[in-house]
Amino acid sequence: MTATTDGSAGAVSPRTAVDGETTDTALPERAAPAPGRLDETAARAAARAAEHLLARQDPAGWWKGDLETNVTMDAEDLLLRQFLGILDPDTARAAALHVRREQREDGTWSTFYGGPGELSTTVEAYVALRLAGDPPDAPHMARASAWVRAHGGIADTRVFTRIWLALFGWWRWEDLPELPPEMLFLPKWFPLNIYDFGCWARQTIVPLTVVSAKRPVRPAPFPLDELHTDPARPNPPRPLAPATGWDGIFQRIDKALHLYHRVAPRPVREVAVNLAAQWIVERQENDGCWGGIQPPAVYSIIALHLLGYDLGHPVMRAGLESLDRFALWREDGSRMIEACQSPVWDTCLATIALADAGLPPDHPALVKAVDWMLDEEITRTGDWAVRRPGLPPGGWAFEFHNDNYPDTDDTAEVLLALRRVRHPDPARVEAAAARGTRWTLGMQSRDGAWGAFDADNTSVLPNKLPFCDFGEVVDPPSADVTAHVVEMLAHEGLAGDPRTLRGIDWLLAAQEPDGGWFGRWGVNLVYGTGSVLPALAAAGIPASHPAVRRAVAWLGSVQNEDGGWGEDLRSYQDEQWVGRGASTASQTAWALIALLAAGERESEPVRRGVAWLTATQLPDGSWDEPYFTGTGFPWDFSINYHLYRQVFPLTALGRYAHGEPSLRKEG
């Protein structure tokens, strides 16, 4: 057994080759329960899972599982500390322990468990180990550098990786896309203004405009010649794309911006840089972070440092302290950096799971969770108001502190959780629910659907910029978010509201040809379908509806032989992986939640899925899940939410054993 930082135990599972890639097979199953006893088996499994989850609640009322991504978080944390001159040996040694453990046999690092080696991730991990003292001729380092050279070297890495290298002179600033701070002058209606970008992107881009303007270079602690295909020519020119397409147009605009960098009027640039600094400081959260996520905090600290903020300045001190809170120290002395923390999301999902598993609605743990969630309600205006200036605030964010960016997904799930609990102050719950519902309705996009953080954040231009070669930089509506909102609105008595009906119409039109729905924030069609079918059922769409029947048929067609469901992250790039992957507890639960909502409780796929969940449950009531089933950016940035393996199986087993949830409105 292997220990995990979230307190659960994980079983080591066998490995097998699939299409040339190494992945883990499903966990070995126990004996399947007898058909007539499945109800009882499921109820006992749910009870054990509930006991396990209850034991993990914080005394303040919240739950939070580890949020695992990839080693670029750890590498960039070390690079930041090296840049600021505060990297200490103990931190470097602890981070290196984690980075080395994640290295694949071929010398590379991947962006998700069982995934293929990825160039930029491998380069950043390699540099982190060099900072920690690993020599380049060590066998594990030599394997990594040879693979990097064979796959194009530093020159073929993404822009963000080369920005980090440029900070130490390992790459030339002149060979990076230009990000002028003058872009902050663009009015909100003008193309490519900062509010055309998703909130996570604008929080990163604004500080990077300062970094781009200053082009700092700290002395490199060592050369990186071994990561270039040709050390004598490390920065090969990139060919221009044809001027008739967006790529070619923006490449030529970038060339013009590089010329502007040389002649930019000093007074204009100073005003732009100071405006960026003001924007950054105004958006620092009470705990010192920016947006509750690590990357904007890292770049904001660099930008402010370049503008003369010393490390003892209150803004800088709070920012660095917030980054320390993203670090998870393990018993073996290693250190892993979370890209983000998910207490609101985890708490509302845990509340839903426990309630659906039969915990009394006035159980002290549920009441305490609701108390905490009510305290986390956001009642101040944030950047979302740029597109919705007259909308009163309300709703919830994902993290402990992120008042600038509540999101519709968390808000919908929090409201669904509140309605499962009998709280001693129903008036307080009703007031918060009313504000959250009003705000969520106001965030509906013009097409009738919902994005996560902003309304109508659908411009096609930001993704075309040479700078934006990694991940999503806009926040268009998605099926999973829209489904959660529709489900919430239906339970708030608004199933027949014209705005809800527009959301339902959008969902029906967004169904994929095979019968599933795309999952933006979870992997992938299994997650999207697991979100949409409960929403349609809550809104009164009958189980006989053709869209529901197609979805049910698709889920049945992709069920694994062992009875579970799984979908690999490669499904975002390769259709052959859609609905295909080793069975996981969370994805099996999503499929079961969908099928139960569609009235399929007595079907063979449901019985086999429930049997798989009960057979793979660990003795302590938890499940093991090394796979990444969460999504930051489809394919580019993947997440293993360590609590998913607990809350979703409990929800599915609870609904199988006790029926679909019955939500309450007070008063």
DSSP string, 573-587: T-GGGTT-SS--HHH
31 has a pLDDT exceeding 60: no
The pLDDT assigned to 262 comes to 93
The pLDDT assigned to 27 comes to 36
215 has a pLDDT exceeding 50: yes
Average pLDDT over the chain, rounded to whole?
A: 92
15 has a pLDDT exceeding 50: no
Catalytic residue annotation? 409
Confidence of residue 14 (pLDDT cuts 50, 70, 90): very low
- The CA-based angle 103-107-112, given to 5 degrees, is 45
247 has a pLDDT exceeding 50: yes
Confidence of residue 244 (pLDDT cuts 50, 70, 90): confident
172 has a pLDDT exceeding 90: yes
Domain boundaries, the chain: 37-67+340-462+474-658, 70-233+241-337
Tokens 């769409």 -> residue: 541
User: Average pLDDT in the 191-219 region?
Assistant: 95
The CATH T-level fold of domain 70-233+241-337 is Glycosyltransferase (1.50.10)
H or E stretch covering 639: strand 637-641
- Please give the Cα distance from 156 to 148 (Å, whole number): 9
232 has a pLDDT exceeding 90: no
Confidence of residue 466 (pLDDT cuts 50, 70, 90): confident
Instruction: Report the 10 Å Cβ neighbour count for 601.
Output: 16
pLDDT single digits (tens) 542-599: 999 999 999 999 999 999 999 999 999 999 999 999 999 999 999 999 999 999 999 9
Q: Would the pTM count as exceeding 0.75?
A: yes
User: Average pLDDT in the 209-221 region?
Assistant: 96
- Please give the Cα distance from 283 to 278 (Å, whole number): 9
The pLDDT assigned to 369 comes to 98
Q: How far apart are the first and last CA of the chain?
A: 50
The pLDDT assigned to 663 comes to 64
- 316, 301 contact by CB (below 8 A): yes
Lowest mean pLDDT among 242-256, 313-327, 584-598: 242-256
Give backbone dihedrals phi and psi of 284, rounded to 5 degrees, phi first.
-70, 135
The pLDDT assigned to 469 comes to 81
Query: Considering the domain 37-67+340-462+474-658 in this protein, what is its CATH number?
Result: 1.50.10.20
The pLDDT assigned to 152 comes to 96
- Please give the Cα distance from 468 to 470 (Å, whole number): 6
User: Average pLDDT in the 233-249 region?
Assistant: 78
7 has a pLDDT exceeding 50: no
pLDDT single digits (tens) 610-637: 999 999 999 999 999 999 999 999 999 9
- 507, 481 contact by CB (below 8 A): no
In CATH terms, are 37-67+340-462+474-658 and 70-233+241-337 the same topology?
yes
The pLDDT assigned to 246 comes to 79
User: Average pLDDT in the 635-664 region?
Assistant: 91
CA R_g for the chain: 25
- Please give the Cα distance from 663 to 355 (Å, whole number): 10
667 has a pLDDT exceeding 70: no
User: Average pLDDT in the 221-236 region?
Assistant: 90
pLDDT single digits (tens) 365-410: 999 999 999 999 999 999 999 999 999 999 999 999 999 999 999 9
Give backbone dihedrals phi and psi of 436, rounded to 5 degrees, phi first.
-65, -40
Show the beta-strand stretches assigned E in 57-113.
Answer: 67-68
Confidence of residue 20 (pLDDT cuts 50, 70, 90): very low
Lowest mean pLDDT among 228-237, 346-355, 617-626: 228-237
The pLDDT assigned to 597 comes to 97
Backbone angle region of 626, left / alpha / beta, with phi > 0 → left and psi within -120 to 50 → alpha: alpha
Give the SS3 label for residue 405: coil
User: Average pLDDT in the 99-115 region?
Assistant: 97
- Please give the Cα distance from 347 to 394 (Å, whole number): 18
